[in-house]
Amino acid sequence: MKSRSVREIVAFCQEIFDDTSFAWAREWKAARPGRKVIGYMPVYVPREIIHAAGMLPLGILGGGADMEVIHGDAYYQSYICRIPRSTIELAVTGKLDFVDGMMFPSICDVIRNLSGIWQLLFKDKYVRYFDAPQNFRDGVGGVFYTRELREFKEGLERLAGREITDGQINDSIGVFNENRRWVNEVYDFRAAAPWKAPSAEVYLLMRAGMVLPPEEHTLLMREYLAAAGAEDRPMRDNCRVLLTGAFCEQPPIQLIKSLEISGCYIVDDDFMLVNRWLLGDVPTDGDPIGNLSQAFLHRSAQTAAKYEPDMAKKGSYLLEAIRRRGADGVIFAAPSFCDPALLDQPMMVSRLEALKIPYITMQYAENSGQMQPIREQSGTFADSIKLWSGA
Ligand code: SF4
């Protein structure tokens, strides 16, 4: 088969991104009788178990910039973040009618409430509020989380009408290990040569992984890396920034483009943490539930989305990412009203200020339309870094 150009691959990803009816997931389901689709919201769920059940994990990241929210506003206050309202809009307008179950990870009260609303609205569907431990000791959080994983597995077994074996979960862990390796390859490639992998492209590539089966997404990333590596693209005089805080409701793609156009190469981000939550490979033999639990407790990413009990360590992951990626500064970009992102921000900012690391803060909604102020803010940020930070 003829390999596709970067432009063709990105156009494919854009098509998936634009399609709020999830045609690819619908086709996957229709291709074989009995197939099931499990939707999940940010930030992290163990997709390995869904995959082992023979089901498709489908990332639901809100309705995006173009969806008009009419029904969703009846369920939530209009001033809170937009993702719960646009997700309800997706559901009540039938765009998720093919989805057999939904998972709501415990990221905040808004998502917790959404899981309750879902149970009231869709009584015949599988709904799981997926609780994650905030205590990372094996004897406390580990016991709790192992039980949570087992309950989740049993729920899917009832839905699938069959047992999910340890061997099947171990195979699926292997599939996601490989997927995560290639996700990390893409991130490393962009950090090394950001002009060759613009962030809007990387973003679309990762969004495709929210819809496609992981095996297909892995092939897509490999194809992209080969095509992007071979393509000559002009290097801009941009500074290098980390973008943090955008782990749940996603910014409009125009915002990501605006940051780069105005002079900021994004060399790391936390857009879709589910892709990168676990660090390194999870063992593919032995007790898979125990292995997934151990990976979550002891080898998972530190972010604003995860509790850090040791105040001295708070924000250390950000400083480490700045060092590792050779970043000149940080953009705190958080959804309006996002408690987890905005409550952490002052503590992160104080760590940066102590080290005189430049930063700016901004807030957005998934349907923010005015990019000129963003461009001016990030453009001025980039200029000030170049003028006064020696970048
Ligand atoms: S954007 Fe923030 S506040 Fe809103 S649902 Fe997501 S984590 Fe919760």
For the stretch 195-204, pLDDT in tens is: 999 999 999 9
Look up residue 140 and give its DSSP letter: I
Query: Is there an atom of ligand 1 within 6 Å of 114 CB?
Result: no
pLDDT at 310: 83
Q: Tell the residue nearest (CA) to atom 2 of ligand 1.
A: 338
* C-beta separation of 349 from 332 below 8 A: yes
For the stretch 303-339, pLDDT in tens is: 877 888 788 888 899 999 999 999 999 999 999 999 9
C-alpha 77 to ligand 1 mean position (Å) = 13
* C-beta separation of 358 from 328 below 8 A: yes
Query: Is there an atom of ligand 1 within 6 Å of 107 CB?
Result: yes
Ranges 177-181, 203-207, 322-326, 370-374: which has the least confidence:
370-374
Report the candidate in 7, 14, 15, 16 with the shortest Cα–Cα distance to residue 227.
7
Query: Is there an atom of ligand 1 within 6 Å of 111 CB?
Result: yes
C-alpha 59 to ligand 1 mean position (Å) = 15
Q: Which residues pair with 364 in a beta bridge?
A: 335
Ranges 13-22, 51-60, 283-292, 297-306: which has the least confidence:
297-306
Query: Is there an atom of ligand 1 within 6 Å of 209 CB?
Result: no
Quick one: average pLDDT of 110-128?
A: 96
pLDDT at 305: 75
> Could you give the CA distance from residue 264 to residue 289 in angstroms, rounded to a whole number?
41
Quick one: average pLDDT of 279-295?
A: 97
Q: Residue 43: is the preceding peptide bond cis (ω within 30°)? A: yes
* C-beta separation of 105 from 44 below 8 A: yes
> Could you give the CA distance from residue 266 to residue 215 in angstroms, rounded to a whole number?
27
C-alpha 43 to ligand 1 mean position (Å) = 10
> Could you give the CA distance from residue 25 to residue 13 in angstroms, rounded to a whole number?
14
Q: Is the pLDDT assigned to residue 358 strictly greater than 80?
A: yes
Query: Is there an atom of ligand 1 within 6 Å of 84 CB?
Result: yes
> Could you give the CA distance from residue 140 to residue 134 in angstroms, rounded to a whole number?
10
Atom index in ligand 1 nearest the CA of residue 43 equals 7
Strands (E), the chain: 37-40, 56-59, 101-105, 126-130, 239-244, 264-268, 329-335, 359-364
For residues 162, 163, 166 and 172, what is the CA-based torsion angle, rounded to 10 degrees?
20
306-342 burial, b at 16+ Cβ within 10 Å, e below that, comes to bebeeeeebbebbbebbeebebbbbbbbbbebbbbbb
Query: Is there an atom of ligand 1 within 6 Å of 19 CB?
Result: no
Q: Tell the residue nearest (CA) to atom 8 of ligand 1.
A: 108
Query: Is there an atom of ligand 1 within 6 Å of 41 CB?
Result: no
Atom index in ligand 1 nearest the CA of residue 248 equals 6
- pLDDT-derived band at 302 (thresholds 50, 70, 90) equals confident
Q: Is the pLDDT assigned to residue 1 strictly greater than 70?
A: no
Encoded amino acid at 90, one letter:
L
pLDDT at 77: 85
Q: Is the pLDDT assigned to residue 23 strictly greater than 60?
A: yes
For the stretch 78-103, pLDDT in tens is: 889 999 999 999 999 999 999 999 99
For the stretch 40-84, pLDDT in tens is: 999 999 999 999 999 999 999 999 999 999 988 899 988 899 999
Q: Is the pLDDT assigned to residue 391 strictly greater than 60?
A: no
Q: Tell the residue nearest (CA) to atom 6 of ligand 1.
A: 248
pLDDT at 199: 97
